[in-house]
Amino acid sequence: MSGVTSSRRDTELAARTRAVLDAAAGHVFGTEPGRLAAELYDVLARTTDDAARARVAAALARCWVYGGHADRAAPFADEALARAEKTADAELIADCLDAVLAAHWGPDELALRQQTAGRLDEVSAHVLDPGARLRGQLWGLQVGWETLRVPVIQRQLRALELLAEESPRARFFAASRRWMYDHVRGVSRPELIDVAEGAAAEAGLADAWMVTSLMRGYSALHAGDAETVAEVSERMEDFARTEGITEVAAEAAVVWALAGRADRARLLLEQLGADVLDTLPRDVNFLLNLQCVLEAALAVGDEQLVRTAAALLSPYENRAVVNGGAVYFHGVTDDTLSRAAALVGDLDRADQLRSRALATYSRLGATWWYDRLQSGGAVGCTEAVHFHPADGGVWVIGAGAGRPVRGLRGFDYLHLLLDRPGENVSAVELVTGGKGTVIQSDSGPRIDRQAAAAYRQRLADLAAELAEAGDWADLSRVESLTAEREALLAELSSAEGLGGRARATGSTAERARVAATKAIAAAITRIDAVDPGVGAHLRDAIRTGTDCTYRPRPDDRRAWLLRT
């Protein structure tokens, strides 16, 4: 009787094991596991068979990683591999190596990941199951991206495309990962999104919609499709809010920022402040979270958040940042760290990091990232332009990431005008910073009306005399008359303002007009050297005089980032 009871228990346990493993296969990456982790652990505690225990422990390890608790995963992953090795089952060992890699996905474990991924590639290459081979190729691709070894990336992509002929699941990964590689190189492949969506539906992949949404969102961002960007960003925000997923909120923030929606980016960044960043686990999403938050904070000019994120990211210079599983490339850490260093005035470090990032992008063929960092050009649907002071007498000015520029007095004047578009601001207010000052009256016109009239009459006479001297080829007389004419013109020019009105001498308004005009002209000339587009725009839109104003064209789409 006891044998029958034991057999029934074994049968029930086997059925329950299959059920919880099936449930674990549908766990969406990034979401809380709920009861699933407890169900897996309950089965694990009652299982003694090495093979079954290995499968359950591996699933439990992935469950905790997917749920954002990678610190709980390592013991289960390690046990799973040890149990699988006792069975000598290559397919099972491959599954458990996958769990070990997932449990050790943090930024400080790259060397271990490279070694383990190499072993998984070797084991999975000799099994018939396409799922095992798929895991080996995906981890090889992930590590290839993390280390930016282009031949490895290309080889693994080709292997995925060959495997895609065997299963719809492999076809989804082959299409989505090929899209990412081509997207980085500036090649538009919208048809791959359709292939990925079709394969995901056929394979029943629960979390594929997040991948294809990102594909559509980033394609739209680079193409300037504001409507699609907004739709995808809203969906990301909703999912992040529902599930409490930091990395999705961080990605939504950077998409809004790059699309020129600083208002939406700021709202998300308020939820991702220093208290959140300081407690981030060093797991698969650590670099992603910091890179996205730093990118968004740079775009909206949040210097405090820039300092916090950059300090946490600084130990990881010269690293590639990819969304988990090589879903999307978020550039290299040197890129954002260089712009953060420039913002706080560390120009030597900024130049060093920037040069290295550009070299990496050039080697990879990452055209969009290279062009943005190289030129400071804006991206997305609205042009966000930095114009604000930083530490050490430096200003950050320009589109996109902005460039560090040594400060000039005229930058303060332009900053005030940009903050009050269309409004006339007196030159006195500009040069005094809005502080009260004694307004001195003028000492009268430089020349009286009678003298000015006499000057103009003499100029008319000189025109006739110059014509006569020219006809007679009297070069000496031409030279003398020309000198007199130039002297009279200079005197009238200094004495008369706009429209021929007499210019006052010695007044506060006149001195402020001259000072503001010269300072603004010098500032725009310096801006030309770092961002000719912004310089040309300011030269066209700024009007100086006794009153100064910034009047952009009606179709101008710049969003000035003017934090003080």
- pLDDT tens track for 87-143: 999 999 999 999 999 999 999 999 999 999 999 999 998 899 998 999 999 999 999
Handedness of CA 483, 486, 492, 493 (dihedral sign): negative
* In a domain? residue 193: yes
* Same structural domain, 215 and 325: yes
Residue 322 shares a structural domain with residue 426:
no
What values do phi and psi take at 549, rounded to 5? Answer: -155, 155
In a domain, 64, yes or no: no
User: Is 537 found in the same domain as 518?
Assistant: yes
User: How many Cα atoms sit within 13 Å of 286 on the Cβ side?
Assistant: 23
**CA distance between the termini of the chain:** 83
In angstroms, the CA 200 to CA 169 distance is: 7
In a domain, 283, yes or no: yes
Q: Residue 559: enclosing H or E segment and its boundaries?
A: strand 558-561
Q: Is the pTM of this model over 0.85?
A: no
297 with 418, same domain? no
Cβ-contact 534, 384 below 8 angstroms: no
| Phi (first) and psi of residue 131, to 5 degrees | -65, -40
Identify whether residues 210 and 284 lie together within a single domain: yes
pLDDT of residue 25: 82
Q: Pick from 223, 212, 126, 221: which is nearest to 173 by CA? A: 212
405 and 522 fall within a common domain: yes
CATH of the domain at 408: 1.10.10
Cα–Cα dist 208/281, whole Å: 25
My answer on whether 247 and 215 are in the same domain is yes
Amino acid letter, 313: L
Rg value, the chain, Cα:
34
- Between β-strands 558-561 and 383-389, what pairing exists: parallel, antiparallel or unpaired? parallel
- Identify whether residues 358 and 416 lie together within a single domain: no
Question: pLDDT tens across 436-451, in order?
Answer: 444 444 545 555 566 6
List beta partners, residue 549: 543
Last residue of a domain, one of 319, 338, 368: 368
Instruction: Among 321, 336, 368, identify where a domain stops.
Output: 368
Burial class of residue 62 in the structure, from the number of CB atoms within 10 Å of its CB (0-12 exposed, 13-18 middle, 19+ buried): buried
Indicate left, alpha or beta for 500 from its phi (over 0: left) and psi (-120 to 50: alpha): left
* 284 plus 254 within the same structural domain: yes
Residue 434 falls within a domain, yes or no? yes
Residue segments in the chain with a per-residue pLDDT below the cut of 70: 1-6, 30, 375-383, 400-401, 434-455, 469, 473-481, 483-484, 486-508, 554-557, 563-564
pLDDT at 12: 84
- Is residue 300 within 8 Å of residue 124, measured between CB atoms? no
DSSP labels, 77-142: HHHHHHHHHHHT-HHHHHHHHHHHHHHT-SGGGHHHHHHHHHHHHHHHTT-S-HHHHHHHHHHHHH
**Contact (CB, 8 A) for 214 and 328:** yes
Could you tell me the CATH number of the domain that includes residue 252?
A: 1.25.40
Domain count, the chain: 3
The order of strands in the sheet holding 558-561 is: 403-406, 394-399, 383-389, 558-561
Q: For residue 537, give its domain range.
A: 385-440+509-561
In a domain, 376, yes or no: no
Judge contact between 163 and 137, C-beta under 8 A: yes
Q: Which tokens go with 386?
A: 């930095």
Q: Which of 481, 501, 521 is the last residue before a domain boundary?
A: 501
The verdict on residue 482 lying in a domain is yes
Using CA atoms, how far apart are residues 208 and 195, in angstroms rounded to an integer?
Answer: 12
For residues 293 and 230, membership in a common domain is answered with yes
41 located within any domain: no
515 and 497 share one domain? no
* Structural tokens at position 408: 């000039």
Tell me if 60 is assigned to some domain: no
**Same domain (yes/no): 202, 278:** yes
